[in-house]
Structure 1
Amino acid sequence: MTKILITGATGFIGIPLTKKLYQLGYDLKILIRETSDISPFEGLDNIEYTVGDITDMESLDKATENVDVIFHLAAYTGIWAKDKSIYNDINVKGTENIAKLALKKNIRLLYVSSFTALGPTPEEPVDETYEKTDEFYLEYERTKYEGKKVVQEYFKKGLNGNIFYPGIVYGPGDFNIFGEMLYDIVRGKFMGCPGDGESIACFSYVHDVVDAMINTLEREDINREDFILGGENILFIDYLNMIANIADCKEPRHFPVSMAKFYARLCEFKSKITGKKPYITKDTLNSFELNRSYSSEKAKRMIDYRITPLEEGLQKTIKWYQDYLKSEQK
């Protein structure tokens, strides 16, 4: 039986990926930290847990013993960090540690990157061959770009595997930046849309992404291919209005970008004092203003990637948030 190591298993994509692999009968090992919350896997017998960190080669060496495939999802995804070196340590150096051991031990590496690693795009959808032409505003974007370059270099050395670039992943249980935004709309606490919201964004339903990645597990014939796992490309303001309409609440108001950036600076100043993450940052706002338009035709053709219509996926997601809100109010 194929033995799979998963990093980042307790994250938003990692939880449904782990559960689906378990249901399919795979032999699973999960890399966790001492502080990891493994409650989502209660009742899933025979999952092996190994304590370690992708920045620590000794613990990684132990974690990769007798493993056939690694799903590498672990990353630092925050919009802000008091010490920015954490982005490089985890997203670049940590990824290189994984790739190095995978090559040494002949383990197949399935690396989950991000649409941000491809960079901002023109209005027309781009594919996996696209080379970024704009600067990166966020450390997360820059280090995911460098992380995918690391994996591509190891592919040249003989490492087997694939790279995935999911779009903005949404779905039940998401409390990353876009999930928090969606939840704020549902509970009537969303501040509004900076500017006209005319930039293009690409949204991917989490279970579509999980299914597509699992489809590559036994596919030795597609080694070293990379795949965009996107969804519908839509104007950001149309996305926000769709959420409001489904949730039966007011459409977000607009306010000047200059006002939003002033507020972001205040948030960042407060964070420097408190050490807590800001609600928004100036660089995040700059990134939101750029187009992110991607084509998933290659993934559809080669790994049977199937895209849930955005409205359908949002209906399921918003129902989850509404139920969650009711439970929090009890």
Structure 2
Amino acid sequence: MAASQASSRTALVTGATGFLGSHVARALADAGWHVLALQREEADTALLEGAPVTAVEADVLDHAGLDAAVPETVDLIVHCASHVSLWRRNGPDQLRVNVRGTRNVVRLALARRARLIHVSCAVAYGQHSGVIAPDTPRLGRNSSITFVRSKAMAETEVERGMRAGLDAVILNPAFLLGPRDRSGWSRMVRLVAQRRLPGVPGGGGSFCSVTDVAAAIPRAAETLDRGTRVLIGGVNVSYAGLAREIGTQLGHRRFLRPVRSGILQAYARLEEGVAPLLGRDPDVTTEAVTLLTGNVYCDARQAREQLGMAEVSLERMVADCIAWMREAGRL
């Protein structure tokens, strides 16, 4: 699809007020799309400030509300809305948003005859001992971690829609780093800055730039065939290595080393018990320790070949995240 064609077409972005969604909304607008930003009535829209988008008020959990609020002339739906948490206490809400919400978005895309780009995540493949590749068995539905299980189940909803005729593609990005992160890996940045990080799990993962992933969405809309799945890998690094890079950029001389899983699990159970009494979410959870004790390394070749994505250095990703946190008064 040429840029002149895109300018006359409309894209709906779910989760547009969030970390990834706010980047995707801007990337689509920059590519010439008329962007509708789906947001709940009570949503904090600060991350969309100044973005050339049109607000559409609805909740992915409300199918009738979605159908009433979204125009008939939507050509593309990019589904970024997700309940991201690794606290078991949030599990029921997480399953509703990630699974039922995706089901409603699939129904909407079918009704509008719109192309759907479902932005999932690499952990939907489940935990594996090696490097996740496009042909790696997807075991996320069997995970004990609610977030992982819910993302895998959401993909099943998209696949069910494709069997009913839906034009959809699925993207599985690795862990995202970059600006406008308020609750993801920026939490590690804040804990390192405050010298409150109790330890680092012994595993590692792939990290990719949120701005580059968002910039790939218009290309995916224009070039990927129906039914395509793209694994978006990035820089492979241990979580201790990530903590060291954060510490270096913050000017810290004391670097954390990996801590045994049992010790972190004990600390996480304590956090999960105390944090609600203090009116906050726990800094470390048992599900987070379980996920991050293993490896979530991803092959990046598919993203390079099919979406033309280049590898962004860990140094730049961390620097972009820290710069935004400082600008936003979060550091």
TM-score, length basis structure 2: 0.89
- 1:217-296 matches, within 5 Å, as 217-219=221-223, 222-249=225-252, 250-271=254-275, 276-296=280-300
2:100 is the counterpart of 1:90: no
Q: Percent identity?
A: 25
Q: Secondary structure at the match of 1:25?
A: coil
For the residues of structure 1 that align with 2:226 and 2:330, how far apart are their CA atoms? 45
What are the superposed Cα offsets for residues 239-264 of structure 1, whole Å, 9 maximum, x if unpaired? 22222223321212554433321221
Structure 1: gaps (5+ residues): none
CA distance in 2 between partners of 1:155 and 1:161 (Å): 7
Give the number of aligned pairs: 321
Indicate the residue corresponding to 1:315 in structure 2: 319
Query: Are residues 1:301 and 2:308 paired?
Result: no
Corresponding residue SS for 2:56 = strand
Q: CA deviation at 1:223?
A: 1.7
Deviation string 1:281-307 (CA, Å, 9 cap, x unpaired) is 112111111111111212211121222
Per-residue CA distance 1:101-160 (angstroms, 9 max, x = gap): 21232110011101111111223x222221145852321110001101111121122111
Offset of residue 182 of structure 1 = 1.8
Give 2:56's aligned amino acid: T
Partner of 2:57: 51
Aligned-pair CA distance for 1:234: 1.7
CA distance in 2, matches of 1:127, 1:153: 23
In structure 2, do the counterparts of structure 1 residues 228 and 240 end up closer, same or farther at CA, with 3 Å as the change threshold? same
Distance 1:276 1:238, change over 3 A: closer
With over 3 angstroms needed to count, the CA separation of the structure-2 counterparts of 1:192 and 1:84, relative to structure 1, is closer
Which among 185, 196, 208 is matched to residue 178 of structure 1?
185
Tell me if structure 2 keeps the 8 A contact 1:227–1:299.
yes
Q: Give the aligned residue type for 2:112.
A: K
C-alpha RMSD of matched pairs (Å): 2.2
Q: Superposition pairs for residues 143-182 of structure 1, below 5 Å?
A: 143-182=150-189
**What is the rounded CA distance, in whole Å, between the counterparts of 2:327 and 2:279 in structure 1?**
32
For 2:70, the equivalent position in structure 1 comes to 64
Partner amino acid, structure 2, of 1:238: G
Counterpart contact for 2:21–2:80, Cα < 8 Å: yes
Partners of 2:330 and 2:121 in 1: CA distance: 31
Distance, in Å, in 1 between the alignment partners of 2:279 and 2:193 is 28
One-letter amino acid matched to 2:230: F
Task: Decide whether aligned partners of structure 1 residues 294 and 108 sit closer, same or farther in structure 2, where only a CA change above 3 A counts.
Answer: same
Offset of residue 323 of structure 1: 4.6
1:24 Cα deviation after fit: 2.8
